[in-house]
Amino acid sequence: MAELEVVAYRLLMANTGGTQFVAFLRGINVGANGKGRKNVPMPELRALAEEIGFAEPQTHLQSGNLLFEAKVQVKTAEERLEAAILERFGFEVTVMVRTMKELVRARKGCPFEDAVLARPKLVHIGFAKEKLARGALELLEPYAKNGELIAFLGQSFWIDYPSVGGSKLTPAVLNRVLGSPVTQRNAKTLDAIVAMSR
């Protein structure tokens, strides 16, 4: 067995039976094909996760939702994935990692359940990379011009978008106002991810 394969095998065995995590990759496989698009095929992402020692990798959709098991801290998992993606694909991708238990709690804590039942693709959960700015809710409220409702749960937040398009709560605004890179997934996607929990 090659030296790299031996190292990967040892890491895999060390991480088997660890914490179940979900990594959310920001800004991949979106927009038109061509210059500037960050393409990360999901089969390659799963293989890459195994190479860096993460066990039982699974993906959901093409937007970069990676489930895996490991005996590491959240920040370590983020750093390993970001470094591996840069080395493999040649571009930087911001990765937000949460434990499955955190996601289950966040889903149960969603304050917009009626909206989720009516339009699950328009209720979004957001994940921040860094500690959120103080008074984050008050900072965002002036941008909620279309009747959006916002609620924060720790380092995550929920936004109920009443309609498609026209919202001032764009990714650029969220990143700037919250003082951290953020990524969002709709409630339907989150429910599917939580359903994959072991």
pLDDT of 167: 94
Characterise 40 by phi-psi region: left (phi > 0), alpha (psi -120 to 50), beta (else): beta
Average pLDDT along the chain, 198 residues, taken 10 residues at a time: 46 66 92 76 96 97 95 97 97 97 96 97 96 90 95 93 90 94 96 92
Summarised one tens digit per residue, pLDDT across range 130-169 is: 998 889 999 999 999 999 999 998 889 999 999 878 899 9
- Domains of the chain and any CATH numbers: 3-99 (3.30.70.1280), 109-195 (3.30.70)
pLDDT score at 14: 53
At residue 132, the pLDDT reads: 87
Of 132, 157, 134, nearest to 144 (Cα)? 157
Fill in the amino acid letter for 62. Answer: Q
What lies within 8 Å, CB to CB, of 165 at 6+ separation is none
The pLDDT, as a whole number, for residue 134 is 85
> Which of these, 26, 21, 23, lies nearest to 180 by C-alpha position?
26
- Predicted pLDDT of residue 34: 61
pLDDT of 133 = 83
C-alpha R_g of the chain: 17
Residues 6 or more apart in contact with residue 69 via CB below 8 angstroms: 15, 16, 17, 18, 19, 20, 21, 54, 55, 56, 198
Residues in a beta bridge with 186: 124
